Amino acid sequence: MPYSLGVVGLGRMAQAVVLPLIERKDFLPNEIFAVVGRKESVPSVAEKFPKGMRIVSSDDPIAEDVWNAAIQLLAIKPQQLPLFEGKNFNFDNPNPSSRPLLISVLAGVTLKRLQKIFPGHVCVRSVPNIPVLVGAGLTGLAWAEGVTEKQRSSVMKIFNPISEVFELPEVQLDAFLALTSSGPAYVSLMIEALADGAVAAGLPRHLAYRLTHKMLSGTALFLNEKAMHPSELKDMVASPGGTTITALRHLEMAGVRSALMEAVVVAAERSRSLNGGE
């Protein structure tokens, strides 16, 4: 009997997507079939999921069963995609409503390339970010031609409970990724630097991190709740000749604003380059 959900690659992001589905009982464990890269990884990965979910390695003879699931989550590294080129994924089924739905979370890999490798599937490109692990993520979606309303609804039911979902033209997904998926790393770097500064100024380390986290989350909440432009908040805090404007001047002299802008741009460019020249 075909499984309802097939998962190819069961790393942190795939786990963040699949575990809530089981917890909400959208899928029973025995309705999910997952494939991981190495046989040695199977026991440790299986410990994170309820009993009854089938998890095998890619060299297992039954691993091909994953492609018979009605919905498939492709969550491998983009560099591993060539392993699937040349395989027969064409199910010779012209009816989109009964073709398997492939949801890719691969950075930079376009719908055109996915559809070329998986011609018998209907493909969706998704870009979730790491805060989906705590149900506070962001997900960008782009749809290939032929996706039915039922399939759209299935995809939204997967991502809505763990993230705010944005349906975007595919051309915008690389910028979305550069901001939302890479962004937590930029913010983490800033948190570490700010906390180090607070320690250098005299605060204990544990308090420096706690205050930095709270300051950032509170600032984001304030801007969002007040629908305020960041420059307005900056001007509210930076009084003439005060500590904040002195610090802002230092940041501008160090090129922090430009560095952050360029970080997003180069991340988007890198995402586009991962498509393998398509």
pLDDT tens for 96-142 read 557 889 999 999 999 999 999 998 899 999 999 999 989 999 999 99
Confidence of residue 205 (pLDDT cuts 50, 70, 90): very high
CATH number, residue 241 = 1.10.3730.10
The answer to whether residue 278 is domain-embedded is no
Question: Is the same domain home to 202 and 125?
Answer: no
CA–CA dist 258, 274 (Å, integer):
25
Lookup: tokens for 119: 């011609």
Question: Is the same domain home to 152 and 39?
Answer: yes
CATH number, residue 119 = 3.40.50.720
Which of 115, 147, 169 finishes a domain? 169
The answer to whether residue 158 is domain-embedded is yes
Which structural domain range is residue 21 located in? 5-169
Question: Is the same domain home to 230 and 153?
Answer: no
Which of 169, 196, 212 finishes a domain? 169
Question: Is the same domain home to 256 and 192?
Answer: yes
Question: For the residues 71-98, what does the mean pLDDT come to?
Answer: 74
Question: Is the same domain home to 163 and 208?
Answer: no
pLDDT beyond 70 at 276:
no
Beta-strand ranges (E) seen in the chain are 5-8, 32-36, 54-57, 71-74, 101-104, 122-128, 137-143, 163-167
Confidence of residue 2 (pLDDT cuts 50, 70, 90): low
**Contact between 123 and 104 (Cβ < 8 Å):** yes
Question: Is the same domain home to 210 and 252?
Answer: yes
Question: Is the same domain home to 38 and 115?
Answer: yes
The total of other beta-carbon atoms located within 10 Å of residue 195's CB is 20
Question: For the residues 240-246, what does the mean pLDDT come to?
Answer: 97
**Contact between 52 and 33 (Cβ < 8 Å):** no
Question: Is the same domain home to 95 and 209?
Answer: no
Amino acid at 181: S
**Contact between 36 and 9 (Cβ < 8 Å):** yes
The answer to whether residue 174 is domain-embedded is no
pLDDT value for 275: 77
**Quick check: helix, strand or coil at residue 88?**
coil
Q: What is the DSSP string of 193-230?
A: HHHHHHHHHT--HHHHHHHHHHHHHHHHHHHHHHT--H
pLDDT value for 99: 83
Q: What is the DSSP string of 10-43?
A: -SHHHHHHHHHHHHTTSS-GGGEEEEES-GGGHH
Mean model confidence pLDDT for the chain: 91
More confident residue, 10 or 84: 10
Phi, psi of 95 (to 5 degrees): -90, 105
Least confident of 21-25, 89-93, 157-161, 255-259: 89-93
**Contact between 31 and 5 (Cβ < 8 Å):** yes
Confidence of residue 157 (pLDDT cuts 50, 70, 90): very high
pLDDT beyond 90 at 68:
no
Q: What is the pTM of this model?
A: 0.89
Question: For the residues 169-195, what does the mean pLDDT come to?
Answer: 97
pLDDT beyond 80 at 94:
no
Question: For the residues 203-224, what does the mean pLDDT come to?
Answer: 97
pLDDT value for 95: 55
Question: Is the same domain home to 231 and 268?
Answer: yes
Question: Is the same domain home to 191 and 157?
Answer: no
Q: How many domains does the chain have?
A: 2
Quick one: DSSP state of residue 100? P
Q: What percent of the chain has pLDDT over 70?
A: 94
Question: Is the same domain home to 194 and 165?
Answer: no
The answer to whether residue 23 is domain-embedded is yes
The answer to whether residue 176 is domain-embedded is no
Question: Is the same domain home to 130 and 228?
Answer: no
Which of 149, 169, 189 finishes a domain? 169
Which residues partner with 138 through β-bridges? 164
pLDDT value for 78: 86
Question: For the residues 71-94, what does the mean pLDDT come to?
Answer: 77
Which residue, among 33, 34, 154, 158, has the nearest Cα to 99 in the 3D structure?
154
Secondary structure element (H or E) that encloses residue 248, with its range: helix 243-253
